[in-house]
Amino acid sequence: MHFFSPANVMRLLEVVEGAATGAATQATAMSLARRLGKVGVLVGNGYGFVGNRILYRRLAEALALVTDGATPARVDRVLTAFGFPMGQFAMSDLAGLDVGYRAREERRRAGDTVPRTWLDLLVEQGRLGQKTGAGVYRYEPGDRTPREDVEVLRLIERFRAEQGVTVRAVSDEEIQQRCLYVMVNEAFRILDEGIARRPVDIDVIWNCGYGFPAHKGGLMYWAEREGLATIQARLLDFHDQTGEAHWRPADGLNRRLAEAGAGGERP
């Protein structure tokens, strides 16, 4: 049973089904979720389950956008303008940057390829987020308002220089598309793998656990209204530009468009 922090407040509860989980165990866990006043969603067992796996993909894209030339505050402003209660980096500061750092270090020790980012450098300088008064943003004593910090912007500039990055202008439209479309594509992959059973389960998870704006219906509902053919076309554009595998449209997205008689993956 995967609770969300802070567990006494957050309504979402992912109930993780293992390979040998029986029906009685499932039913008991879902019943307990209701008794606790939680919204239980049955999910499969995989890294990050459903909600965090999509969040990790968005975080990676937000980091890449900053490396390309955006600022953390700019990325966050685009996400809050979309309707999220807080942006990616403000959320990371709230949760504690060291939490993600430890998870990445465990994966590296296990042999996974996890590139180092400027976020790792912040943690190694003792900037862990709100709890230390400094993370991606700085915080005044007794005040949770995130404030841009010139020291972080300088650190990011040094990281770009070390990586040989040529800084370019990044538009608000690109920020929204890269952050949101990568989430949709990862969600389709999760459905393909059976980690989530239905698109509505992903909507419930992101509405109840991550602040997806309720007036937009949910991640998958919004994607349909945005236009899956539009999303697929931009995914292919980003894939052509970067060659990165995570931009290749998921099989489930391609199937959904084929069934609707629209779109199709490029050869």
Q: How many CA atoms lie within 13 A of 159 on its CB side?
A: 20
CB 217 within 8 A of CB 62: no
Q: In angstroms, what CA-CA distances link 213 with 18, 42, 73, 86, 207?
A: 31, 22, 19, 11, 7
How is residue 266 written in tokens? 């490029």
Alpha-carbon distance of 213 to 158, in angstroms, equals 35
246 belongs to the catalytic site: no
Q: φ and ψ at 138, to 5 degrees?
A: -110, 155
Pairing of strands 39-44, 2-3: unpaired
Could you give the 3-state DSSP secondary structure of residue 168? coil
Q: Which of 2, 215, 239, 246 is catalytic?
A: 2
227: left (phi over 0), alpha (psi -120 to 50) or beta: left
Q: In angstroms, what CA-CA distances link 131 with 78, 137, 248, 260?
A: 25, 12, 38, 49
CB 232 within 8 A of CB 177: no
Beta bridge partners of 23: none
How is residue 154 written in tokens? 């300088």
Provide the 8-state DSSP code for 143.
-
Please identify every residue annotated as catalytic. 2
